[in-house]
Structure 1
Amino acid sequence: MATALVHQNVLVFHDHDQCYQAIQSRDARFDGYFVTAVRTTGIYCRPSCPARTPLRSNVEFFSTGGAAQQHGYRACKRCRPELAPDSPEWNLRSDLVGRAMRLISEGEVDRGGVGPLAARLGYSSRQLQRVVRSELGASPAVLARARRAQAARVLIDQSDLPFTQVAFASGFSSVRQFNDAIQGAFAASPTALRAQAIAPLGGRSSVAQHPEWVCLELRLEIREPFSGAKLLEYLRARAIEGVEEVQDNTYTRLLRLDSGCSWLSLDLSSTPVGLTVELENSRDLPQLMARCRALLGADADPCSGDEYLAKSRALKAMIAANPGLRSPGCLDPHELAIRAVLGQQITVAAAAIAAGRLVAAVGRSGSGSEFERRGSGLSGARVGGTKHQMVTFPTAAEVAGVDPALLPLPSARARCVVELAETLATGQISLHAGADRELVYNQLKALRGIGPWTAGYIVLRALQ
């Protein structure tokens, strides 16, 4: 993939010819890696945009839509570059820019600003802004604003939520900021954009079974090919009874987020992937969508992975028969780490049973009360069946507060689980999206009872 540099405050790719060749062939594999900005029209597009290919002398290339917006370009209304999967580069890179981009995607700047983002990464705000701007052509604040605008556009198109609710659910602190950002990114008002969405990409908002919650049906773009059936097999084998359900083509569970709980259901029968959610607090929506994308590996480059693995004679036939395989991420890094330790040296089925026993010992229902699903209504139809209760997986702090002797586990493993939970709850080990993978790997191995395989598995899935 072409690398980039900044020249006179404009991001330029070293391999301009490769990028131009990609847009000439309308190669969708490059969508998300970069955007094409056309000087004569003032718009930026995906590499696969079906519009007439502009002259070579009239284009420049940016690594993100946010950088293109900062230089005065607007998103193409035909190819909708804001809907493209993100570049897999951000998940692969372990340097400062890659770690910063992962945290920006999870809404770190929206929640606290650039200062807390820099502090989490171990840099000053000035250092972070200088490095990110020099490589990507835009500051962290500009990139975060572009992310908010993209999230808002999805809600404008795919829901009938009031614009005030769309603004706050997308991470904006005021309706005025929301209106300005939408106008700047798409050269149209929110009202005009919604009027254009005659055939929305997803469903419309519905009445939640908890009246005070927000219920939405959305669509998640994912880089293809995508083997949803294989991912469902993986999740089904590891599902914890009462916490997760895999039925037909859907994966369903209750999840705790920063501001409350959310019930979610992912329909993996086709792409884009269907996402039905009920949110206790709509401000958690960007975080929830980022976590769902991580679980799905939505931004991964399966073609590169398939090409590499197919070099093995032992794997070649298997890869050819199962295109689009990818390593799944997770919805909750702390939960993933605890479950990884629970599953050491036992079968997958036994690990799911052990996790269920842990949940029964220290878990609690969503929002502190019974979270019911019935056979009628939107959510009930997704889950199917009769009334039943779903619970959240316990937090690291809740597990850390339990006497290891009371856990239904072998004594050594119970002590290891509680010790790991303590380090996670106190922040001694941080599994946030921008964490240093090598550092976390070594910290995990230093804990008694965690070996290289378990530490590597946690880093692979939790810090994807």
Structure 2
Amino acid sequence: MDEETRYEAVSSRDARFDGEFFFGVRTTGIYCRPSCPAVTPRRKNVTFFPTAAAAQGHGFRACRRCRPDAVPGSAAWDVRADVVGRAMRMIGDGVVDREGVPGLAGRLGYSARQVQRQLTAELGAGPIALARAQRAHTARLLLQTTGLPITEIAFASGFASVRQFNDTIRRIYARTPSELRTESGAGPRTGPSTGTGARTALAAGVPLRLAHRGPYAAREVFDLLAAEALPHVEEVLGTPGARTYRRTLRLPYGTGVASVDETAAGPWLEARIHLTDLRDLTTAVQRLRRLFDLDADPYAVAERLGAGPALADRVAARPGVRSPGAADPEEFALRTLLGPEEAARLVLTHGTALDTACGSLTHLFPEPAALTGHPFAGPLATALTTGALRLDAGADRDEAEQALRAVPGMTAARAALVRMRALGDPDAAPAGSPVDGPGAEAWRPWRSYALRYLEAVPASSA
């Protein structure tokens, strides 16, 4: 998009572009999402930015009305397989917070200087600034939804010090953390400075609104998750239209149990996450976003898939069909290879039991290291354990698929399915599927979505 097209989107308050770019208003020092309801500023006063971090880096503060830090992520990061796209997915997963820029660069196979240069050149901000913007959003979420003491929120959000936390919040939101908390409408919160406050927040869980762009066909997503639900690890409760998906999560610092509701009251899905360590909040949120494909661009998908007669009626009948990902890529790969019955058996024999069961959710899926001796899944588990095969958020999709195909029992179709779901590739084409062949070229780069339309939306639905 050129700048004039972006300004037209701002003038029409077009929510389709929320998260795809941001704009700053020089006369006010505030940056917004395109759909901000405020009076449209004059063109000469507007500056455009590819990321919130870039706007913050130029001294702009987040708008209080449209909360630009809470928009869906850009769909470009899921489509792109280059170093910038991979880096953005890994930053979203919290790699910079846990491993620093050297860790991010090492995973990408580049030097820290090269990663810094590429991200800054294209996105207007380096990895540290991008991670800081994400930490600030996590901090605001915790300030406004939990009773955690502010000191504990600082470290739970990934900040290295309370001073850094306070300075960042003031710079981005133009308020102190205490003022930001009071503004939430819940009033000032009080409580012990340590211990009890954290335990109370952990027990209550963190309520979330997982934003998405455009229409969201929740029924098809929940149908798929219900059909795949693995006992003791996942469950879907309720009746169609009012279901809740729940699952256990293995996270970098601890464990979690997440629940997501099918019914939506706005452009988001209601969720709640219970964590044993709040430092895992950012990672847990990103994994749910990938599982529910919340950063997709349904408008771009509909424009491409609806252009031909093969899918036009289905796309028109069910706008917003998503291509679900996986909450745990390694788990998904192992389950794909093992099949549902053997996977369910291994949960009880090799999975890790939760300290406290949550209804029927009692276990985490086994870690790959626990399955290296399995007669069938052993080679795949070994490759995952040694790092010969990487399925993390920034993995190279082509390299991962090649490594998967070398695993005994992992057929080309299974490897492509893992690529589609575990690696979130929007253009995967499993061998032998309706999107595998010359006739499906017109659906690129959205063949994963074409497959979901063919599988989940009956031709007669239109």
Q: Shorter-normalised TM-score: what interval? A: 0.7 to 0.9
Please state whether the residue corresponding to 1:113 is helix, strand or coil: helix
Query: Which of 386, 390, 395 is equivalent to 1:435?
Result: 395
Identity %: 46
Question: How far apart, in 1, do the equivalents of 2:270 and 2:296 lie?
Answer: 18
Gaps of 5+ in 2: 188-195, 425-462
- Specify the alignment match of 1:83 in structure 2: 70
Instruction: Give 1:450 shift.
Output: 1.7
1:50-65 map, 5 Å: 50-65=37-52
Whether 1:148 and 2:143 are equivalent positions in the alignment is no
- Specify the alignment match of 2:214 in structure 1: 224
Question: How far apart, in 1, do the equivalents of 2:408 and 2:18 lie?
Answer: 44
Task: Give the letter for the 1:357 counterpart.
Answer: R
Please state whether the residue corresponding to 1:357 is helix, strand or coil: helix
Whether 1:458 and 2:446 are equivalent positions in the alignment is no
Question: How far apart, in 1, do the equivalents of 2:142 and 2:211 lie?
Answer: 14
Instruction: Give 1:183 shift.
Output: 0.6
Task: Give the letter for the 2:210 counterpart.
Answer: L
- Specify the alignment match of 2:262 in structure 1: 268
Could you report, residue by residue, the CA deviation over 1:160-197 in whole angstroms, capped at 9, with x for unpaired residues?
22212221221112221111110111111011111111
1:240–1:353 Cα contact (<8 Å) kept: no
Could you report, residue by residue, the CA deviation over 1:314-361 in whole angstroms, capped at 9, with x for unpaired residues?
32222222211111011101001111112xxxxxxxx43332122233
Task: Give the letter for the 1:266 counterpart.
Answer: V
Instruction: Give 1:448 shift.
Output: 2.4
Could you report, residue by residue, the CA deviation over 1:369-427 in whole angstroms, capped at 9, with x for unpaired residues?
4x333xxxxxxxxxxxxx64521110111111x342xxxxxxxxx2xx21111100111
Question: How far apart, in 2, do the equivalents of 1:211 and 1:108 lie?
Answer: 24
Pair 1:453–1:54, CA change in 2 (3 A): same
Instruction: Give 1:445 shift.
Output: 1.3
Task: Give the letter for the 1:354 counterpart.
Answer: E
2:142–2:206 Cα contact (<8 Å) kept: no
Whether 1:251 and 2:252 are equivalent positions in the alignment is no
Pair 1:325–1:389, CA change in 2 (3 A): closer
2:148–2:197 Cα contact (<8 Å) kept: no
Could you report, residue by residue, the CA deviation over 1:53-112 in whole angstroms, capped at 9, with x for unpaired residues?
111111110000100111111111111101111111111111111111111111111112
Pair 1:333–1:49, CA change in 2 (3 A): same
Pair 1:30–1:403, CA change in 2 (3 A): closer
Task: Give the letter for the 2:352 counterpart.
Answer: R
Question: How far apart, in 1, do the equivalents of 2:324 and 2:202 lie?
Answer: 32
Query: Which of 356, 361, 372 is equivalent to 2:357?
Result: 372
Gaps of 5+ in 1: 3-14, 201-205, 343-350, 374-386, 405-413
Pair 1:208–1:266, CA change in 2 (3 A): farther
Could you report, residue by residue, the CA deviation over 1:120-142 in whole angstroms, capped at 9, with x for unpaired residues?
10011111111111111111111
2:148–2:201 Cα contact (<8 Å) kept: no
1:333–1:431 Cα contact (<8 Å) kept: yes
Aligned residues: 410
Question: How far apart, in 2, do the equivalents of 1:95 and 1:125 lie?
Answer: 16
Pair 1:120–1:388, CA change in 2 (3 A): closer
Query: Which of 42, 61, 79 is equivalent to 1:74?
Result: 61
1:279-358 map, 5 Å: 279-342=275-338, 351-358=339-346
Question: How far apart, in 2, do the equivalents of 1:159 and 1:212 lie?
Answer: 9
- Specify the alignment match of 2:380 in structure 1: 420
Could you report, residue by residue, the CA deviation over 1:8-65 in whole angstroms, capped at 9, with x for unpaired residues?
xxxxxxx111101100111000000000111111111011111111111111100001
2:253–2:277 Cα contact (<8 Å) kept: yes
Instruction: Give 1:255 shift.
Output: 1.5
Pair 1:394–1:89, CA change in 2 (3 A): same
2:235–2:361 Cα contact (<8 Å) kept: no
Question: How far apart, in 1, do the equivalents of 2:202 and 2:221 lie?
Answer: 33
Question: How far apart, in 2, do the equivalents of 1:322 and 1:263 lie?
Answer: 30
CA RMSD of aligned residues (A): 2.0
Task: Give the letter for the 1:282 counterpart.
Answer: L
Task: Give the letter for the 2:309 counterpart.
Answer: R
Relative to structure 2, which stretch is displaced further, 77-86 or 446-455? Answer: 446-455
Question: How far apart, in 1, do the equivalents of 2:378 and 2:175 lie?
Answer: 53
1:74-153 map, 5 Å: 74-153=61-140
2:138–2:281 Cα contact (<8 Å) kept: no
1:26–1:48 Cα contact (<8 Å) kept: yes
2:302–2:319 Cα contact (<8 Å) kept: yes
Instruction: Give 1:215 shift.
Output: 2.2
Runs of 4+ in 1 over 3 A off after TM superposition: 206-214
Tell me the TM-score normalised to structure 2 length.
0.85
1:169–1:282 Cα contact (<8 Å) kept: yes
Query: Which of 332, 351, 360 is equivalent to 1:363?
Result: 351
Tell me the TM-score normalised to structure 1 length.
0.85
Task: Give the letter for the 2:422 counterpart.
Answer: A
Instruction: Give 1:214 shift.
Output: 6.4
- Specify the alignment match of 2:448 in structure 1: none
Pair 1:447–1:24, CA change in 2 (3 A): same
Pair 1:399–1:208, CA change in 2 (3 A): farther
Question: How far apart, in 1, do the equivalents of 2:202 and 2:295 lie?
Answer: 33
Instruction: Give 1:210 shift.
Output: 9.4
- Specify the alignment match of 2:446 in structure 1: none
Task: Give the letter for the 1:229 counterpart.
Answer: R
Please state whether the residue corresponding to 2:310 is helix, strand or coil: helix
Question: How far apart, in 2, do the equivalents of 1:149 and 1:226 lie?
Answer: 27
Please state whether the residue corresponding to 1:235 is helix, strand or coil: helix
2:213–2:296 Cα contact (<8 Å) kept: yes
Query: Which of 367, 377, 395 is equivalent to 1:395?
Result: 367
1:363–1:392 Cα contact (<8 Å) kept: yes
Task: Give the letter for the 2:113 counterpart.
Answer: R
2:13–2:36 Cα contact (<8 Å) kept: yes
- Specify the alignment match of 2:405 in structure 1: 445
1:32–1:87 Cα contact (<8 Å) kept: yes
